[in-house]
Amino acid sequence: AIEEEWGSLMMFIDTDLSRSQRLVIFGSVRGRRGSELKVLSAVETKTAGYFNHVKEDIVNRDRYKDPTGTWGTDYMTFKDEGEISYALGKQGGTRRKLERSSGAIVQYVGMVVLLSGTKEERERGKEYMKWLFQQLEGPVYVDGWRDRTDCTVVDIPNDCIGYITGNRRATLGVMEEEWGTLMFFMSEMDDRGKGKGRGGNHTERLAIFGPERARRGSELKVMSGIETKSPGFFTRSLREKSSRRRGFDTDRLIFRDDEVSYALGKDGSTRKKLELASGAILQYVGFVAFIGGSRRERRRGREFVNWLLQQRRGSVTITDISKRDDVTEMHIPASCKGWVTGNRGSELRRIELATGTYIFMALDGRGEERLLVFGVNPGVPNRRDGGRVHAELLLKEMVHDKLMDDEKQTGGRRGRSRSRSRSGSRSRERLRGWGGDRRK
């Protein structure tokens, strides 16, 4: 599990089992350090005090050995078990959010917290840890937040704060876990509830810390919730937007009539599948679809939403996929189409959920129907861990089962010898020939 988490290779190299064993860790600087601190945390749990004997070696190891030349390890000591329990959080959730939002490796070894990474990552990690504990004493205010590159602030109407926070901070915690951000309400002691928001409503400022993409995902999730409780708060004067920026940005698409409920799906399932398959951030704030990501991701997300809405009105025509690298094209035998799609597309929805893809029947330039499997994850051949390859494998299995079932039914109505042999031969030819697919 440690090797998989950190992309490292670990092995014991001693043959004398009567003495302490040496563990060798191979990999990148970050991968080795993450693995090492995870191991030390477990060892300290079983053998308290061991870390004190090796602390200096651990802290000084690999110093400056990264592309930035600033790699290092800082450490702080907790005062008591209460502090470490708070900094760890339920099932380690607080530690993980500090690690993901700061970019530093954050690990607790006994009563010591170690932060490894570049100088910038370590500084962020220490600041975030400080603010985490300041929240126990009262409101936190971050001086100079407008000039920071790791901070987004959202105005929250006072009557929506409880809804966004949740019972014992549960709702904010879910968003932090999903996006890898650190979030808290930021006010000076004498400034709580006095801010003026849109329309003169009293607001408080919610600070979101972390990488740009994660902050935007958290921000849009918050905006979506507020718009549900206070319609128009964010979207009243918004228009559609299509950015030409190649890097990260956000586009907007306005839904009409009841399109938003169709594009959302049951429990948000349709929105989630489009988001996962496109690689873009896709969030609905009222009747506005926000699409965040690189230019390619935003364009793909917009295409997927438009194709989804076209399916509602009838057939979708996609004439040329030769220049795309996010699609697998499959030609399904006519006798198998109903079997593959299922009742109202239920089988395709099942495969989409299992593989993180977006699948539908579309017409080509000649008006011929074929099945298209879209997704940014191409998958790994012969592995069932998501992606287009996984989806293709499941679809082929469904077609195979249908053709074999048809063969059995046909064979039962014919003779037991030559007729059955000929039927089997034809079926095998169909099995070899139906899957003439083209991956792009």
Query: pLDDT tens-digit profile of 58-113?
Result: 999 999 999 999 999 999 999 999 999 999 999 999 999 999 999 999 999 999 99
Q: What's the pTM?
A: 0.86
- Which pLDDT does position 428 carry in this prediction? 40
Give the H/E segment covering residue 109: strand 105-109
What CA–CA distance (Å, rounded) separates 228 from 238? 16
What CA–CA distance (Å, rounded) separates 211 from 268? 25
- Which pLDDT does position 432 carry in this prediction? 43
Residue 92 burial (CB < 10 Å; 0-12/13-18/19+)? Answer: exposed
Q: Tokens 């230019």 sit at which residue?
A: 295
Give the H/E segment covering residue 282: strand 281-285
Q: Tokens 């962020």 sit at which residue?
A: 124
- Which pLDDT does position 421 carry in this prediction? 41
Q: Tokens 């996962």 sit at which residue?
A: 276
Q: Tokens 């050995």 sit at which residue?
A: 65
Residue 12 pairs in a beta bridge with 23
Highest mean pLDDT among 188-197, 365-374, 415-424: 365-374
Residues 6 or more apart whose Cβ sits within 8 Å of residue 378: 387, 388, 389, 439
140 DSSP 8-state letter: B
